[in-house]
A and B are shown apart, each in its own frame.
Chain A
Amino acid sequence: MTEPVSVLTQRYDVPDAHTLAGYERTGGYQSLALAFDQAPTDLVQQVKDAGLRGRGGAGFPTGVKWGFTPRGAGKPTYLVVNADEGEPGTFKDRELMERDPHQLLEGIVVACHALESERAFIYLRGEYLWPGIRLEHAIAEAYEAGYLGKDIKGSGINVDVTLHYAAGAYICGEETALLDSLEGRRGQPRLRPPFPAQAGVYGMPTQVNNVETIANVPHIVQHGVEWYRTMGTEKSPGPKLFCVSGEVNRPGNYEWPLGATAREIVEVSCQGMLDGRTLRFWTPGGSSTPLLTGDHADTPMDFDAIAEAGSLLGTAAMQMFSDRTSVVEAARNWTKFYEHESCGKCTPCREGTFWLSQIYDRLLEGRGRREDLDLLDEICDNIFGRSFCALGDGAVSPIKSSLAHFREEYEHLVEHGRLPEGIESHTDAVDHNSGHGRPEQLVGT
């Protein structure tokens, strides 16, 4: 039986943890001295040894990624914190920045030392006004106290942080699109290579790391690799913020070691499904990760076990839905999301999401045809692996997985023109493109 842990969330109950006074009183900024005593490359090795994997979705080992940063090239290196949290169902970084912004800043200072970088940008989702205000306040306090700026606490180390509010584009969570956006361009992904570690923002070596990833770093430095590895699994060590939402009694961010099961998290932390409903389908890591079913509730929530179960851990955004909820409606809702958020750079994603959305409208309006199911499948196959970035792959995840697990609901819709007994519609979907003046197009008629 796994137990919840309290590492990243250890100050969530301290009312003034967002202030410097509250943060210092509860042991904040103590990793700096330990970090400054080490050579940058040793710090990178420590993060590598701890096995920290990126918390933004891909799960790439952070220490390995840091190791790609060229040193002594005579160019500035930048750290860009990806705080463009937009994956549907994800709200972990928001709460972390609201409740404990100094934790992120401490991580930034340590990471900058490890990367020999003197400049960090926090690319914050534009809608995150309150987290942004909390961060601005924290940045100002940290400068005042000498935790940021020139010659931090007499170490000779300089770190400047710039908070950058974005302007509402899901694609900018993709790291190369984020860099284009930070440079003042349309947020469209770049071709890799070159990878950001070699040529990122302004063509300089750049590390892009998620908020939660950076927040893990001071804890590793302060308490050591051995302690860090007491949590989680061999290949996915450490604590993780799980964002649980949907039809559960107590939605929220809960911190468990990686490898806890969805059942444990929902039963213990969320006090079960809403009104005792039965879990029917859920996303383990946001809407871009293939849906799992109630039968998968005992799968350990770590990168490898979830991958074995046919999905991805993603951002660990667990959206839990019951047997009263239509999976086809869910797929339509998310398809319209991806249609809206497709950046338009590549054809499979831009056009594919548009046509998929029309087929879903037809199905749910009782105009579905039997061949529509194969058509959905075929369009998905033409997007998956054929689009420029992972947005296209994410867009087809809910569709492919719902077709695989819940084909009978699709067939019922085609046959009877309505949802099966016991499944309620949650009112019509909103058409995102209604304001864009795009005409409705008929498919194959």
Chain B
Amino acid sequence: MSDPSTNGSGPAETIPAEIRAKAEEIVGRYPVKRSALLPLLHLVQHAHGYVSDAGVRLCAELCDLTKAEVGAVATFYSMYKRAPMGEHLVSVCTNFACHVRGGTAVYRHLSDKLGVGHNGTTEDGQFTLEHAECLGNCEGAPVVTVDYLNYEGQTPASAADLVDRIAAGERPAPTRGFPPEGIRAVQHRLAALGPAPEGEGVVAEAGHASDQARATDGAVPVPESGPGLAPVTVEPTFSEGQEAERARAREAVREAGQDPHEVESGAGPQAREFPTTDPDWEPPEPGASAGGDADQEHEEGTS
């Protein structure tokens, strides 16, 4: 098992104070600290674009683990990267339902176009490419995701065009959701912290497409404060064709006289305090139950 701390090619990262504060907040969400490890690693990738040595140290400190234990977890999951990702992560599904509709051909074409292989990052730092296992969007095969936002029904040509447009600073809309805002901003969301504040976790370099896009497009909201449940103001964008097909395919259940289009929509809820700890919960005593025993064994196994 190699330690991810030895893999980074980036500069020696540090943990900014605001990232540490968010990390502590994530730990407070769970009855047992270690449960916060997966979201914490997403937060580390938000800060540094990969599982950095400084990030591993932070996780170890906050979860009372050794660096080796954190490294063992980080290397198990495919979403944690051991080298800095580019600004956008492009994933192409090559599992069989996508494959028969051309998923692998799309992947090969993008790989040739970008000049990188699986988990490779382009020299200009704009894209990391990966081929992914079933992305759970087989009805839209073949599917490509950019920063985990899905573009359905791709061909080699359309996927190349998609990448070109993003490289040119455009923000093409995915089949559902909002235009990609950069993988680091998305990592903030995957830590269940909501949209990333502007500029946070972005390396201070000129020419980041997402920075330019943000400057001209106020659609990406900035959370007021606190843990993440900031309103999502971006409206859904299920494709028209998809909606129309569904409408034809199914009997609508709308009640008479209530046109959903007239219903006020949009106004999201106010940011609220997320329930952090379970007040009645007490840590299990070692050996108090069969599960406690199993837990002990685990600790020994991973130490």
Complex contact B30–A162 (CB within 8 A): yes
For residue A444, CB closer than 8 A to chain B, the reply is no
For residue A118, CB closer than 8 A to chain B, the reply is yes
User: How far apart are the CA atoms of A329 and B99 in the complex, in Å?
Assistant: 10
For residue B42, CB closer than 8 A to chain A, the reply is yes
For residue B32, CB closer than 8 A to chain A, the reply is yes
For residue A325, CB closer than 8 A to chain B, the reply is yes
For residue A245, CB closer than 8 A to chain B, the reply is yes
- Pick the most buried of A88, A166, A343: most chain B CB atoms within 10 A of its CB: A88
Complex contact B258–A340 (CB within 8 A): no
Which residue of chain A has the shortest Cβ distance to B96 in the bound complex? A333
User: How far apart are the CA atoms of A264 and B235 in the complex, in Å?
Assistant: 35
User: How far apart are the CA atoms of A49 and B253 in the complex, in Å?
Assistant: 27
Name the one of A94, A186, A251 contacting B73, with C-beta atoms under 8 angstroms.
A186
**B38: A residues at CB distance < 8 A:** 164-167, 181, 184
**B158: A residues at CB distance < 8 A:** none
For residue A21, CB closer than 8 A to chain B, the reply is yes
For residue B289, CB closer than 8 A to chain A, the reply is yes
**B100: A residues at CB distance < 8 A:** 246-247, 321, 325, 426
* A367-403 CB contacts (< 8 Å) to partner B: none
**A325: B residues at CB distance < 8 A:** 100
* A174-231 CB contacts (< 8 Å) to partner B: 180-187, 190-191, 193-194, 198-200, 202-204
Which residue of chain B has the shortest Cβ distance to A87 in the bound complex? B134
- Pick the most buried of A119, A166, A202, A254: most chain B CB atoms within 10 A of its CB: A202
For residue B10, CB closer than 8 A to chain A, the reply is no
For residue A239, CB closer than 8 A to chain B, the reply is no
Which residue of chain B has the shortest Cβ distance to A431 in the bound complex? B118
Shortest CB distance B119–A (Å): 5
- CB within 8 Å for A199 and B291 given contacts A167-B41, A169-B76: yes
Complex contact A333–B265 (CB within 8 A): no
Complex contact B34–A183 (CB within 8 A): yes
Complex contact B228–A136 (CB within 8 A): yes
Which residue of chain B has the shortest Cβ distance to A343 in the bound complex? B76
Complex contact A340–B133 (CB within 8 A): yes
Complex contact B194–A136 (CB within 8 A): yes
Complex contact B232–A90 (CB within 8 A): no
Which of A3-11, A57-65, A347-355, A356-364 forms part of the interface with chain B? Answer: A3-11
* A88-110 CB contacts (< 8 Å) to partner B: 88-91, 93-94, 98
Shortest CB distance A393–B (Å): 18
Complex contact B265–A16 (CB within 8 A): yes
Complex contact B105–A427 (CB within 8 A): yes
Complex contact B102–A13 (CB within 8 A): no
Complex contact A165–B192 (CB within 8 A): yes
Shortest CB distance A100–B (Å): 11
For residue A113, CB closer than 8 A to chain B, the reply is no
- Pick the most buried of B96, B148, B176, B268: most chain A CB atoms within 10 A of its CB: B96
User: How far apart are the CA atoms of A87 and B192 in the complex, in Å?
Assistant: 24
- CB within 8 Å for A91 and B104 given contacts A10-B253, A194-B290: no
Which of B15-23, B137-145, B196-204, B206-214 forms part of the interface with chain A? Answer: B137-145
Q: Mark A303-337, 1 if CB is under 8 A from B, else 0.
A: 00000000000000101010001000110011001
Shortest CB distance B194–A (Å): 7
Residues of A bordering B, CB below 8 Å: 4, 6, 9-16, 18-22, 25-26, 75-76, 85-91, 93-94, 98, 118-119, 125-130, 132-134, 136-137, 139-141, 143-144, 149, 160, 162-170, 180-187, 190-191, 193-194, 198-200, 202-204, 243-247, 250-254, 269, 287, 317, 319, 321, 325, 329-330, 333-334, 337, 340-341, 343, 426-430, 432, 434-435
Ranked 4 nearest A-B pairs via Cβ:
A203-B291, A199-B291, A184-B37, A245-B138
Instruction: Name 26 interchain pairs, CB-CB below 8 A, sorted by A.
Output: A14-B254, A25-B258, A90-B134, A126-B190, A127-B135, A127-B145, A162-B275, A164-B39, A167-B38, A168-B78, A170-B133, A180-B298, A185-B37, A185-B298, A186-B72, A198-B289, A202-B295, A245-B138, A252-B139, A252-B246, A252-B249, A269-B249, A325-B100, A337-B134, A426-B102, A430-B104
Using A25-B255, A91-B136, A183-B35 as known contacts, list a sample of 8 further A-B pairs with CB atoms less than 8 Å apart, ordered by residue number in A.
Answer: A88-B138, A128-B148, A141-B268, A167-B78, A198-B289, A202-B284, A427-B104, A429-B104
